[in-house]
Amino acid sequence: MISYESFTLNNGLRVLFHREPSSPMAVVNVLYDVGARDEDAERTGFAHLFEHLMFGGSKHIADFDAPLQAAGGQSNAFTSNDITNYYDILPAQNIDTALWLESDRMLSLAFTDKSLEVQRQVVIEEFKQRYLNQPYGDAWLHLRPLVYKKHPYRWATIGKNIKQIQEASMQEVKAFFKQHYHPGNAILCIIGNFELETIKQKVAHYFGNIPAQKKATRKLTSEPPQKQFRTKTLIRKVPATAFYYAFRMGKRTDSDFYQADLLSDFLGNEKTSPLYIELKKKKKICAEITAYITASFDDGLFIISGKLQSGKTIEQLEAALWPLLEKTAAKAISKSSLNELKLKLRTSRAFQDQGLLNRAMNLAYFELLGSAQQLNKEAEKYQQIKTKDLQEFALQTFRKTNCSRLIIQSQQDAK
């Protein structure tokens, strides 16, 4: 149970505060309701490039990081398809520094040409380091457009290609800021050993006079239901053939999210899952195999991915995998297995809650999803899941016509 207080400023900024008396540190987390799904199809990677620019100086402050570091703190951020999240961790007595910095860049950026030119290069190097210069690094750049035809989840947060990042202009940067970076589009979450009144007064002081702006209505094209099995094969100079089966599922706020999450744990667990035992240990088709979900705000994916053992074929995998998935749909898992999954989840959540930053990010994330209160109801939602719920989810999800399959085939295996 994470207790918190919440209030909203006149300009629309939503604020959450969680008191942690045992820590000398404070966290200031600012979540903006903008992600790669809000990008123009011709300017993909923009939300993430923009995140870099947020560290390039704001209207009254030349450098974001230096004052924070001088206050003993540090900062970072991440962009996903759904959100952009910034955070600062610093000694609690210096919380004003973080509020001053965050409020100034919410008010306005400096928009220097130098910052845009340098960060464009940095992001291009990031593109290479994480996606292009790694074996299998570009898998998701191909998997997304295979699954999504209409919805903006069809591109990755890094963007479709380097060219679009090269072409981003200062005018577009300014327009993006104006549309997405304002109090009504943000959630501020603070953790530390403070009185609520102190926080209210400080937040009003730094954020209160940032002009309000109307929150734009999001109009995304929803992804139409999939009608047939899709498949794509890339032949690459990699040592082993990798496979990605992507099944369409619902969004983060749908009730079947919890079933999907538990089922992905069941199927993905090292050593005990049916996929691991059948496909890796018994039939020796796979060298590795796992399952997970994307947990996205709009319709998401249930992924089964792994690598083949050398000499094994996709046909052998297909012949073994589908009957296994059908079995999951035909027969409920045991009650004891389900209880194990729930207990493991409880353990990992307790460890996650240890960290201040995790708590801050989670509170803001759930507030954006609807209400931070939901964070404290998560455990109960998992508890209520029954074995037949998982079975129903499997039945509904593991259909071939609901599946897209990407293969990154090793040149050796292709010969």
Partner 1 sequence: MLNRSQAPAIHGIEHIAFVQPQINKLKNGVDLFWRNGIFNETSKIELHFKAGSCIEQPIVASLCAGLLISGTAHKNARQIQKALDALGAYYDVSLSQDEAIVSIYALKDQLLAAYTVFHESLFAATFPTKELQDLCAERRQKFLVQQEKVSFLAQRQFQKSLFANSVYAKQIQLEDYDNVSVTDLQAFHQKNYLKGLVEVFVVGDLQGADFQELQDLLNTYQKASFDAIDFDWQNEQGAIHLEQENALQSAVRIGRPLFNKTHPDFCDFSILNTILGDYFGSRLMSNIREDKGYTYGIGSYIVEHQNYGYFVIGTEVGVQTRTATFEEIQREFDRLKNELVPQEELALVQNYMLGQLLKSADGPYAMLDLFANVQQNGLGLDFYDQLIDRIRKITPERIQELAKRYLIWEEMLIISAG
Chain positions 257 to 286 lying near partner 1, rule: CB under 8 A, are: 269-272, 277, 280-281, 284
Contacting range for partner 1; rule: CB under 8 A; set: 54-62, 243-251, 290-298, 375-383: 54-62
Instruction: State in angstroms the smallest separation of the CB of 215 from partner 1.
Output: 24
Instruction: State in angstroms the smallest separation of the CB of 370 from partner 1.
Output: 25
Instruction: State in angstroms the smallest separation of the CB of 136 from partner 1.
Output: 8
Q: Which of 344, 377, 386, 400 binds partner 1 (CB under 8 A)?
A: 344
Residue type, 9: L
Q: Going by C-beta distance under 8 Å and a sequence separation of 6 or more, which residues neighbour residue 238?
A: 135, 136, 408, 410, 411
Give dist(CA 260, CA 410) in Å, integer: 31
Q: Which of 234, 287, 369, 395 binds partner 1 (CB under 8 A)?
A: 287
Place of tokens 């004003």: 96
Q: Does 346 bind partner 1 (CB under 8 A)?
A: yes
Tell me if residue 52 falls in helix, strand or coil: helix
Q: 105 or 151: whose CB is closer to partner 1?
A: 105
Instruction: State in angstroms the smallest separation of the CB of 230 from partner 1.
Output: 26
Q: Which of 41, 175, 196, 350 binds partner 1 (CB under 8 A)?
A: 350
Torsional sign, CA 342, 346, 348, 349: positive
Query: What residues numbered 196-235 form the site for partner 1, per CB under 8 A?
Result: 205-206, 209
- Structural contact between residues 207 and 188, judged by C-beta atoms closer than 8 angstroms: yes
Query: What residues numbered 64-123 form the site for partner 1, per CB under 8 A?
Result: 65-67, 69-75, 89-91, 93-94, 96-97, 100, 103-104, 107, 117-123
Give dist(CA 394, CA 325) in Å, integer: 8
Q: 61 or 146: whose CB is closer to partner 1?
A: 61
Q: 32 or 266: whose CB is closer to partner 1?
A: 266
C-alpha distances out from residue 132 to 147, 162, 235, Å: 21, 10, 15
Q: 344 or 377: whose CB is closer to partner 1?
A: 344
Give dist(CA 254, CA 1) in Å, integer: 22
Instruction: State in angstroms the smallest separation of the CB of 243 from partner 1.
Output: 14
Instruction: State in angstroms the smallest separation of the CB of 5 from partner 1.
Output: 20
Q: Does 313 bind partner 1 (CB under 8 A)?
A: no
∠144-296-332 over CA atoms, to 5°? Answer: 100
Strand pairing class (186-192; 14-19): parallel
Q: 253 or 310: whose CB is closer to partner 1?
A: 310
Q: Which of 224, 227, 354, 415 binds partner 1 (CB under 8 A)?
A: 354
Element at 213 (helix H, strand E): none
Q: 56 or 152: whose CB is closer to partner 1?
A: 56
Instruction: State in angstroms the smallest separation of the CB of 400 from partner 1.
Output: 28
Q: 4 or 148: whose CB is closer to partner 1?
A: 4
Q: Does 358 bind partner 1 (CB under 8 A)?
A: no
Burial 43-64 (b: 16+ CB within 10 A, else e): bbbbbbbbbbbbbbbbeeeeeb
Q: 265 or 367: whose CB is closer to partner 1?
A: 265
- Beta partners for 410? 236
Backbone angles phi, psi at 171, to 5 degrees: -60, -40
Backbone angles phi, psi at 217, to 5 degrees: -80, 135
Phi-psi label, residue 111: left if phi above 0, alpha if psi -120 to 50, beta otherwise: left
Query: What residues numbered 130-159 form the site for partner 1, per CB under 8 A?
Result: 130, 132-136
Q: Which of 60, 150, 386, 400 binds partner 1 (CB under 8 A)?
A: 60
Give dist(CA 2, CA 4) in Å, integer: 7
